[in-house]
A and B are shown apart, each in its own frame.
Chain A
Amino acid sequence: MLDQNTSGQTLLKVENLTTQFEIQAKSFFKKPTMLTAVNDVSFELKEGRTLGIVGESGCGKSTLGRSILQLIRAQEGRVVWQGKNLLDLTPEQIRLARRDMQIIFQDPIASLDPRMTVGDIIAEPLTVFEPKLSRAERTERVREIMEAVGLVPEMINRYPHEFSGGQAQRIGIARAVITRPKLIVCDEPVSALDVSIQGQVITLLRKLRKEFGLTLIFISHDLSVVRLISDDVLVLYLGRIVEAGDCATVFSAPAHPYTQALFSAAPIPDPKLARQRSRIRLQGDPPSPMNPPPGCPFQPRCWKATDICRTKMPPTELVRPGQSAACYHMDRPPET
């Protein structure tokens, strides 16, 4: 879906990925229903770029991130990583591939084992993937990475509860980058942090991305954070990509009505602008993924919806170079 003419190798290619969960029926006699969390998602990610995935709760953004890393197994589609489809690999092959693919979680404290020291937590990927390292070498690597993420190496023997949320997130980041992975999925990494700490962690991620040549998938509900860190962006609604493209284009000229509404709902920290701008007021809540509406998923809340929207899912089309959307009534650039 993202086909801008940027140079660089394709690192990850996701094709028609669909992830479903089985929901147990309330009655013994009824069949379980299927919940489609990620629905026919395709995109390409080039090396060294950062892809932002935005959407509201329940849109499938976390499931998508985990389906890529094979933490959740998808039902259909392909995840092509270094020429191989991850969905075809054995669990052991996936385990080995994880050396190059790491994840950072939202809740920094909960994602650290309270009974392990910080040093052991950060060293764990090394013990798994580089078992031949001596103890001294491992400690050296841990101290090095602690320094790189802004932790004092003297804290190596402390336990997670002795750290603040921001520091704990730095530990999570250190653990993710110590094996020098190529791809890191960041799942709402700053949402649980205070504003001043959030800025520190974003700045750190930007620094590490440059130093280590990382490719990032940055999942967040916060549009301003995504705009700050991403090169490309995917907008998800009810498991489907409704709009995608390079960040600058999508943010300056969103084409899909949902993207427009989402952007216009984001509060702007400028009182004069906030008073002046006209806002799209969306009615109602997002539909339940258990019971998706027919046709376009956004159609029940969309002010542009017509009959065709209610019957057929709109195809994904190119809006302009570097931007595509799935909508029959999208804002297209004026003909030249």
Chain B
Amino acid sequence: MEAAYCRTTGSEFHATLREFDTDPDVDGLLVLATPDGAFTPAAVDETLRELSTPVFGGLFPKVIYDGAAHADGAVVAGIDVEPTVETIATADEPLEADTDGDDETAFVFVDAYADDGDQFVQQLFNAYGVAYTYIGGGAGTFDGDRRHCLFTPDGLVGDAAVVAMVAAESTIGVEHGWTDIGGPFEITSADGRRLKTLDGQPAYDRYAAIIDAETDRTVTTETFAEIATSHPFGISRLGAERIVRDPFAVDDDGSLRCFGDLPEGEFVHVLQGDPETLVDAADRAHAAASEGARTDSAVITFDCLSRARYLDGDFDRELAALSQTANTIGALTIGEVANDGRGHLEYYNKTAVVGAIDGL
């Protein structure tokens, strides 16, 4: 895999795409771009459709290239195996399981603000199971601006998921490093990603009470965003780390909005982070991905933007842990998708994902 970073998203980006497209050694194009105003369907669709090489990717809050996170520009990577790109736009229709024995890794990018984002992931698992090693994340802007954010050969699309399956083995590391400080608390009312009541109380009130009880901090409308960044919810899985659900907004009725579904009737814990445990988790993720991987494997990482926001000044250490391998590229995502073939495919929050892909 050969990657290039385009500082501007105008003609340079288009020229880079066409350059890779004409490269006979390039059979697929992975695009990790920042949500610049230039990335609109009108601006890029024509170019995307003209490409003879299958293209896939997304717009993310930041992209990772050369050991740094960039809030602008785009990373374009030419890969040596031809991907099978599929767009999932409807959650109601089951995917046709059409597995090719050679396809072993699937890149999954989901519009983080899609109404059925979790269902897209569930559809993938229902169709393909652990036939693939999945790696990817939620695309979009952190400020909640809904826009077309997924690159496909047909253009830029939104409210969907794009899957690119490649015949390349990979190893995955998925870790978050968040730990329990309280729970379990019953989700007594929820609607998709909207947590209405917790233990029978308005979610915000109950959350504030838990934080008040378990920490030395007090949740107010002013402090909620900052506290929520450091105290997400965790959903239990047998024999696995909790699935983190990141609250990011409060509705007028006291509901909490999260990235990812919170099923009614289930239980959540309140987690807390520590820069050290999080950086250690990132390091473990890199180590897990690197274990058994070839030295020339392409390393791609997707780290949650909210981790970066939480770690703030310590994020450089996490980024360094994730980018230990040279030429690591990646993005800061809004939710992560990963599965190493040993469990259920999930849509994570606040998690660090590293993948080492052979022969890419």
Partners in one complex: no
